[in-house]
Amino acid sequence: MPTEPPASLVALFCDRARQSGSQVALLEKRGDDFAPLTWNELAECVRATAVALTDLGVHPGDRVVQISENRGAWIVADLAIVALGAVHVPLHATLAGPQIVAQIADCGARVVLLSGEEQAAKLAPLATNLPLDLQLRSYEACETRLAGNPIERLDPLAASVSTPAEPVLPAESGGRGSRRAAPAEPAPPADSFLEDAAARLSPDDLATILYTSGTTGEPKGVMLSHGNLVGNTLATLEAFAQRSDDLRLNFLPFSHIFARTCDIYTWIASGATLAMSARREEVIADCQQLQPTLINGVPYFFDKLYRALDQAGSAERPGALAGLLGGRLRMACSGGAALPVALAEWFARQQVPHIEGYGLTETSPVISCCRPDAVRIGTVGPPIQGVEVRIADDGEVLTRGPYVMQGYYNNPAATAEVIRDGWLSTGDLGTLDADGYLTITGRKKEILVTAAGKNIAPVAIEALLTEDPLIEQAMIVGDGRNYLAALLVPSTAALAAALGHASQADAAEGAATESAALDLHGDAVRQLYEQRIAARLADLAREEQVRRFVLLPRPWTIAAGELTPTLKLRRSVILEHFADEVAALYDEPSA
């Protein structure tokens, strides 16, 4: 690793292409096999894509939105955008159309890159809400038109020569199957373009804007600089070194900072090989085929591994987990949500090294992590190099260092709320032990984090639900769970009217209707609420949908301690009072 860190992501990539040009960098699933791309070919793709973006009018400082599932084109576009001095704004592919349009407008995007038909279809009904001068391009052929206009194709991988890919085996991933680069345009060649781009960029230049729910539940654009991302990447690598002969398997979405820093940028910095699973359902099969040495995941994924082996009766058989993951795994890393202690202990019994880290989008993201040779189960390790952590008087975790964001885009008030005297308020509660190991004990903010690491703002969803006249009160649950569920208090009078048991006039007059008489568990009532919930949440992302719900027989009250005097939900009290109902929503025994 050089004494002076690269000044930008482009310099980081430029160094790697110069050192490892002919070696296989990327393996992308094509059919049943993985097609290889060398560092030189990747560099040529970046150059060609930057030329295409320049032709679309992209200049330094312009925002370019990308809405795509993981693919090689995502990585190429990321590097091409920042090489132009522009700002990459990746949006989650699971967002609903109105959410995408709102974030495009908020960042003032000049160009939007779409993966294909699915994303274009979300925008088609909202085309009139998009800026008139917005340029859209699709990686795949796209029949959908926006306001009558076709969406032209832009293929970031077009600079590489597509040849039938041979299966790539672990022992051969360092060189077999690499393809020749396509003839380059007369000027500039890829290496010259990257060198020139790297010379123009500084650590303080803005590299990306990432939208996150933040501490208030409102989407805010986190601004991260080149220095934020490069520094966090190198400090993360210092904590647990990767090797150039490592094969990392990726399946986490690149639009999240965890995968972007800890899969993409650490891969570039280390010179390892990165393989991408096309679908999460194929991760185990891909492990069997490729035999990766490194894998990042969220607790939900690692829990699925345990459950699969447990159902097969082999969860406690020595070597079962290692075999499931291909037999060569030397390290797994968990982030995005809290890792259950029992799951961490199971990994230890299986002798598969598993480290847990902690961070935020606002911190690029890694704040702390355990080291492979110093794992303390139940903690998220000590801070990484350059990061300071302290615990506020109220127990909140505060952090300071070179990886803290520049601020929220166009939102100085929100920035001032979370950064004071250089210290970022994380919204999480925690403790530090005598050796500096951090333990996260809870969340000060109300944001839920699912087992898949998705940040969910429950208040916004609850507000949508209670707009329906049949729903008097609502509380979303799902922190650390695989999906969202809802506790709902029905408006019995409105429900009776909807079912034809009472007139609207009776309901307006406050006619009493007993919940039991309405059979809240009956098929007719359940189907009615399923329809109402689906309609109310139709514009939300997939991870924000309510999968299960229960109708409660009584409302929450101030007298019962379930509401504050201003009628805000006291969530912990409600969870305690309705523990059995919550457990039933996840088909598990209550405590």
Q: How confident is the model over 374-389, as pLDDT tens digits?
A: 999 999 999 999 999 9
* pLDDT value, residue 216: 41
pLDDT mean over 500-525: 60
Least confident of 59-63, 209-213, 230-234: 209-213
> What is the mean predicted confidence (pLDDT) over 83-96?
95
Give the pairing type, strands 407-408 and 438-443. Answer: unpaired
Establish whether the linkage from the previous residue to 188 is cis, with ω within 30° of 0.
yes
Average pLDDT over residues 2-12: 89
**What is residue 20's predicted lDDT score, i.e. its pLDDT?**
96
pLDDT at 575 over 80: yes
Mean pLDDT of 541-547: 94
Q: Give the pLDDT mean for 90-115.
A: 95
Q: Using 50, 70 and 90 to split pLDDT, how confident is the model at 570?
A: confident
Residue 358 confidence class, pLDDT cut points 50, 70, 90: very high
- Residue 523 makes CB contacts below 8 A (sequence gap 6+) with none
pLDDT for res 565: 55
Average per-residue pLDDT for the chain? 89
Q: Quick one: DSSP state of residue 327? A: S
pLDDT of residue 303: 83
8 Å CB contact between 119 and 236: no
pLDDT interval class at 455 (50, 70, 90): confident
pLDDT level of residue 62 (50, 70, 90 thresholds): very high
- Expressed in percent and rounded to 5, the helix, strand and coil fractions of the chain are 35, 25, 40
For residue 142, give both structure tokens. 């796209």
Q: State the amino acid at position 237 in one-letter form.
A: L
Q: Which domains does the chain have, with CATH numbers?
A: 457-585 (3.30.300.30)
User: Residue type for 197, please?
Assistant: A
- Give 464's DSSP letter: H
Residue 185 is predicted with a pLDDT of: 43
* Residue 181 binned pLDDT confidence (cut-offs 50, 70, 90): very low
Q: Is the pLDDT of residue 168 over 60?
A: no
What gap in Å lies between CA 73 and CA 155, rounded to an integer? 7
Least confident of 54-63, 109-118, 563-572: 563-572
How would DSSP label each residue in 64-115?
A: EEEE--S-HHHHHHHHHHHHTT-EEEEE-TT--HHHHHHHHHHHT-SEEEE-
Contact indicator for 295, 258 with CB cutoff of 8 Å: no
Q: Which of 101-105, 166-170, 306-310, 553-557 has the highest mean pLDDT?
A: 101-105
Q: Is 291 helix (H, G, I), strand (E, B) or coil?
A: coil
- Distance CA(260)–CA(243), nearest Å, equals 18
Q: In what order do the strands lie in the sheet with 247-250?
A: 33-38, 24-30, 273-276, 247-250, 294-297, 331-334, 354-359, 366-369
Query: How many CB atoms within 10 Å of residue 271?
Result: 18
| Residue 263 pLDDT | 97
